[in-house]
Amino acid sequence: MYWRLILLSLAIIGLTLHPRPTQGQGADGSFYTGADLSYLNEMEDCGAVYQEGGRPQDIYGLFAGYGATLVRTRLWHTPTWTDYSTLDDVIRTFSRARDAGMATLLAIHYSDTWADPSHQTIPAAWEDIDEGPDLEAAVYQYTYDVMIALHAEGLAPAFVQIGNEINSGLIKRDDTIGLEWGRDSRLILAGIQAVRDFGQATDSTPQIVLHIAQPENAMGWLIDGEAHGITDFDVIGLSYYPQWSPYTIDEVGQQVDMLRQHFGKEVMIVETAYPWTNDYADSANNILSQELAGYPVSIEGQRQFMLDLTQTLINHQALGVVYWEPAWVSTGCSTPWGRGSHWENATFFDFQHDNELLPVIDFLALRPSATEE
């Protein structure tokens, strides 16, 4: 333990003084399209069937066939309220993504439950760990161990998020306490160093993602983060939901340009979604309902939103776009907040027609043209 604390302290100093160069889209013009499939294993275990042309489909093969190149999934520390989003569940997801030929993105939440701008609750296993070097060492060791465990299965991800929507920081004992840069920056740097050390130990180059909710929040957060030594990462990850952001699609593109130019990093939308209906398949309240001007809540409106957003990101040289939970359909299973799904109206599957595939999936095939590359 003590030697790791010494190395961690030296590494954090080194990260502050010697930021690493960007690795990412670069000269090859790579552009990722994909989906967050964190709920898929649970949905299938609950009996969900996904169809195209009236025939049941394997989601991974289906999405890859339409052009998806990336699968994202979340990792909770030691949840006691669910059997999913655990390390074993991640291995199950990444195995299927690998078999379908898709790259992977791991979103480490550093919590036993949902982490977002309002909730970054410390895992129960860490509640008795002292603030400061001990908690930083826990973040480092956990991150490193997760990466090693995935590597042992041949499943090390191409991208790793250090936290999820970390607008308010990481690992809070009290969710009413907001961002504390002197504390939170050292926790973030501990996670970053663990991934860098893993890469060195395994001769690999996983790309580190820092994930901010809503594009309008990114510039200020990253400027402050830079002032606190957070420079050694590869990708600025953004959530973009028009329901909670004032930005139009064009303004998202402009923000991508500004972020790329100011920080010299790649930019990826790691979460987005749009509803195709406001109807319900169950009694669980739908989360998404508000529409963006020019994009009606309809099957065609959902498709056009994703086509236009993806093309705008390509035009502004973003690294990719990931749709959040397109397979979270309604089943007989429950969430902590209700029976069924809170997202069935924003999936890729029409619950009014036996979960038949919707045309929104067309965005997965979009790529930069030769002139854009």
DSSP string across 112-149 = SS--BTTB-BPPGGGTTSPTTHHHHHHHHHHHHHHHHH
Q: From CA 268, how far away is CA 72, in angstroms rounded? A: 12
Among positive and negative, which fits the CA dihedral 240, 241, 242, 244?
negative
DSSP string across 182-198 = HHHHHHHHHHHHHHHHH
In the numeric block, which tokens belong to residue 69? 């190149």
In a 3-state reduction of DSSP, which class is residue 211? strand
* DSSP code of residue 300: H
Asked if 89 and 45 count as a contact pair (C-beta separation under 8 A), the reply is: no
Residue 309 amino acid letter: L
The radius of gyration of the chain from alpha carbons, rounded to an integer in Å, stands at 20
Catalytic residues: 165, 271
Question: Which residue in 66, 80, 134, 9 sits closest to 326, CA to CA?
Answer: 66
Q: From CA 366, how far away is CA 18, in angstroms rounded? A: 37
Asked if 209 and 270 count as a contact pair (C-beta separation under 8 A), the reply is: yes
Q: From CA 244, how far away is CA 287, in angstroms rounded? A: 11
Residue 50 amino acid letter: Y
Residue 229 CA, distance from chain mean position:
23
- List Cβ neighbours of 123 (8 Å cut-off, separation of 6 or more): 77, 78, 110, 111, 112, 171
Q: From CA 303, how far away is CA 135, in angstroms rounded? A: 44
* DSSP code of residue 173: S
